[in-house]
Structure 1
Amino acid sequence: MIESFFKAASDFLVDNRAEIVLKTWEQFYISMLALLLGIIVAVPLGIVLSKTKKVAKIVMAITSVLQTLPSLAILALMIPILGVGKLPAIVALFIYTLLPILNNTFIGMQSVNKDLKNAGTSMGMTKFQSIYLIEFPLAIPVIMAGIRLSAVYAISWATLASYIGAGGLGDFIFNGLNLYQPEFIIGGAVLVTILALIVDGLLSKVEKWATPKGLRIER
């Protein structure tokens, strides 16, 4: 049983080498572009919301509602608006990456010690300088945690993008389901997991590099 499983897995890897590279790139491209858009929107928005708590409650409530919608339903809703392919998949994944990044940015900015902010103000710093030089650097570990979580979400959910013709490793999984070929299902799932682990590991290096030295936790 185990021997036949490994043989089927090795045959899958050998027989589909070129397609594996292409599908892995599509999965990476779709999810990382959605993540990049999420960072561009959610980080500045989270910083602004940390200064306006009343508005923050409304925005957080809206993004939380969007997060509860099934990912497949959002993909389906994109079809009448943007058609099929990579664009609607990227937009749908972008929506899903927003909440963790936005929430962690807000929490990270709020958790900065008030004494440090007051010290910056007493030194003559403007609000922008305080954010740029004190609050944001100190909030980076929390913000990066949200980004890493969103990255794993995006890579996992990008598998469903196959349903709307966006490609990716989901093609292997759904082809395996349709053709009753377990090696395609297992191979696709394992490749998605490996890709998510690699990206999370790379982002952990970025987090360590971006975090001020005094706040770094050696692992």
Structure 2
Amino acid sequence: MFKQIEEVLRTQSGQIWQAIGEHIAISLISLLIACLIAIPLAIALMNHHRIAEFFLQVAGVFQTIPSLAILGILIPFVGIGTVPAIIALVIYAIMPLFQNTYAGLTDIDPSLEEAATAFGLSRSRKLFRLELPLAMPMILSGLRIATVMIIGTATLAALIGAGGLGTYIILGIENNNNALLLIGAVLSAILAIVFSALIRLLERVHFTKRGVIVTLCVFLIACGAGAFKYFAPSRQTITIAGKMGSEPEILINMYKDLIQQESPKTKVVVKPNFGGTSFLFKALESKQIDVYPEFTGTVLQAIVKEKGKTPHNPEVTYKKAKTALAKDNQMTYLKPMAYQNGYDLAVSRSFAKKYHLKTISDLAKVGDKATAAFDPDFYHQADGYPGLKKAYGLHIGTVKTMESSIRYEAIADHRVKVVDGYTTDPEIQKDHLVVLKDNKHFFPPYQGAPLMTTTFADRHPEVKRALSKLAGKITTTDMQKMNYDVTFKHEKAATVARHYLKTHGLLN
């Protein structure tokens, strides 16, 4: 475990620092906006108790809504990425900031208020000379609570393509990689502890009017520095995004290299681990990104939601997907690569050798002697195990359902003989598994190809020319090996992608 963590820290230090920067920036922007809303509101309502109680109740209700639900509600209105993440974090931070500021301002000794009035202090002078300095410890306490809450919740921003340390937590869960999971979780905890400690130091300071102003200025400057990354103007770029995992990251780096070779002056930005299919497609529609790799079967099943079974002929599937995207979504779908990232059944090498297994039909003959670990979805859905039973007459003796991230561990430890998976999974190479041929072409084809809006494609013909070079290239074995190099040898996806392009004469 510690060796894995050391390896990841050594090989991915640049990406980790970038994730930390994204996490801090999102957190500071959210905290700034929450402060600008909650603190002035508490000051305005400090003498209007009934209205203040109403706002406290409303803020309390928002606290009870799960953060994922808030993100899901926001996506149709503001898209994906940084904006919905910041809005969700602001909603969560308002409650402690408003509550503590209001409590600090309303718990001041009435005799002090009377003395200030007797001395002829104006409303603004009394606020800055008496009320805010006395309430500042409570305000900072609310700020500390909100900061810790924001930093912890910001890990979910990775689910909608906003980056941050949550990327490592999600990748760790999906790939059963405890090293990535611990790096993301521990660094998030360290950030929360560091920022909490800094605010605790401020709580010990005696605040005068000047102290209040200086503290606010320092805080605003820090938040402004974090916000600069997101709101500073930048020159036109081409943004390429990919789903979670090593394979999409390899592909988007290939796209980047090919585009920059075709058009050296073009600035290309890649966004790996941007989210799932629906998030990426919405980002493409809203022009938050320009290109991303998508699979033909996924287009028909999850995006255009074609009724009926997906065709088993890869060319027919691609043509249907391309036509539907052009007609319904005004999208351009370039020709796919050779390999397919679809379902497969894999068996241990010893089991395959013992029973001479090469195809799923061969497995059907000895299915009663096998034990299998299947993903819960694969075990239940029609294009998984139930469909295989009908198509091949396959009946496996014992089937256990396991999360996709641990079923490969089960076959590596010889606890099972058969697992479901995807044809390009790097574990196939790592554990020396044998992928059984789908000799009846049961599984639908999943070939990857660049997807972009037709408007973008017409405006950038050089991008179409560059990415079309990948059509019909990259075999299943090639992609398996590249995934293995990134996942288990810890090579950088950009390095692996460039090596393939140069080796196959696609990059000068």
Tell me the TM-score normalised to structure 1 length: 0.91
Partner of 2:100: 104
Partner of 2:463: none
Whole-angstrom CA distance in 2 between matches of 1:203 and 1:16: 31
Structure 1 residues 45 and 210: CA distance shift in structure 2, 3 A: farther
Q: Cα RMSD over matched residues?
A: 1.2
Q: Kindly state the Cα deviation for residue 126 of structure 1 after the two structures are TM-superposed.
A: 2.0
Partner of 1:134: 130
Q: Kindly state the Cα deviation for residue 208 of structure 1 after the two structures are TM-superposed.
A: 3.2
Residue deviations 1:26-57 (CA, integer Å, cap 9, x gap): 01100111001111111111111211001111
Whole-angstrom CA distance in 2 between matches of 1:188 and 1:113: 45
Give, as a single letter, the amino acid of the residue that structure 2 aligns with 1:131. L
**Matching of residue 120 in structure 1 with residue 120 in structure 2:** no
SS at match of 1:139: helix
Partner of 1:69: 65
Partner of 1:153: 149
Partner of 2:353: none
SS at match of 2:204: helix
The equivalent position to 1:186 in structure 2, one of 182, 189, 195, is 182
The equivalent position to 2:26 in structure 1, one of 12, 18, 30, is 30
Partner of 1:217: none
For structure 1, the residue ranges without an aligned partner over 5 or more in a row are 213-219
The equivalent position to 1:17 in structure 2, one of 1, 6, 13, is 13
Give, as a single letter, the amino acid of the residue that structure 1 aligns with 2:55. V
Q: Kindly state the Cα deviation for residue 128 of structure 1 after the two structures are TM-superposed.
A: 2.4
The equivalent position to 2:159 in structure 1, one of 138, 160, 163, is 163
Whole-angstrom CA distance in 1 between matches of 2:206 and 2:169: 36
Residue deviations 1:109-159 (CA, integer Å, cap 9, x gap): 011111111000000112222222111110000010000110000000000
SS at match of 1:50: coil
Give, as a single letter, the amino acid of the residue that structure 2 aligns with 1:119. A
Partner of 1:80: 76
Give, as a single letter, the amino acid of the residue that structure 1 aligns with 2:164. G
Q: Kindly state the Cα deviation for residue 206 of structure 1 after the two structures are TM-superposed.
A: 3.1
Structure 1 residues 210 and 37: CA distance shift in structure 2, 3 A: farther
Partner of 1:174: 170
Q: Kindly state the Cα deviation for residue 106 of structure 1 after the two structures are TM-superposed.
A: 0.5
Whole-angstrom CA distance in 2 between matches of 1:32 and 1:208: 22
Partner of 1:57: 53
Partner of 1:216: none
Task: Say which structure, 1 or 2, has more relative contact order (CA 8 Å, 6+ apart).
Answer: 1
In the comparison of the two structures, how many residue pairs are matched? 208
Partner of 1:144: 140
Q: Kindly state the Cα deviation for residue 204 of structure 1 after the two structures are TM-superposed.
A: 2.2
Give, as a single letter, the amino acid of the residue that structure 2 aligns with 1:41. I
Give, as a single letter, the amino acid of the residue that structure 1 aligns with 2:111. D
SS at match of 1:166: coil
Q: Kindly state the Cα deviation for residue 103 of structure 1 after the two structures are TM-superposed.
A: 0.1
More strand by share: 2
Residue deviations 1:174-197 (CA, integer Å, cap 9, x gap): 011111111111111001001111
Once superposed, which parts of structure 1, at least 4 consecutive aligned residues long, lie more than 6 Å away? none
Whole-angstrom CA distance in 2 between matches of 1:208 and 1:171: 36
Q: Kindly state the Cα deviation for residue 201 of structure 1 after the two structures are TM-superposed.
A: 1.6
Give, as a single letter, the amino acid of the residue that structure 2 aligns with 1:191. L
Whole-angstrom CA distance in 2 between matches of 1:200 and 1:56: 27
Whole-angstrom CA distance in 2 between matches of 1:162 and 1:179: 15
Percent of aligned pairs with the same amino acid: 36
Whole-angstrom CA distance in 2 between matches of 1:19 and 1:209: 37
Residue deviations 1:43-84 (CA, integer Å, cap 9, x gap): 111111211001111111111111111111111111011100
Whole-angstrom CA distance in 2 between matches of 1:166 and 1:76: 14
Q: Kindly state the Cα deviation for residue 211 of structure 1 after the two structures are TM-superposed.
A: 3.3
Whole-angstrom CA distance in 1 between matches of 2:13 and 2:82: 22
Indicate the structure (1 or 2) with the bigger Cα radius of gyration.
2
Q: Kindly state the Cα deviation for residue 87 of structure 1 after the two structures are TM-superposed.
A: 1.0
Q: Kindly state the Cα deviation for residue 210 of structure 1 after the two structures are TM-superposed.
A: 5.9
Partner of 1:40: 36
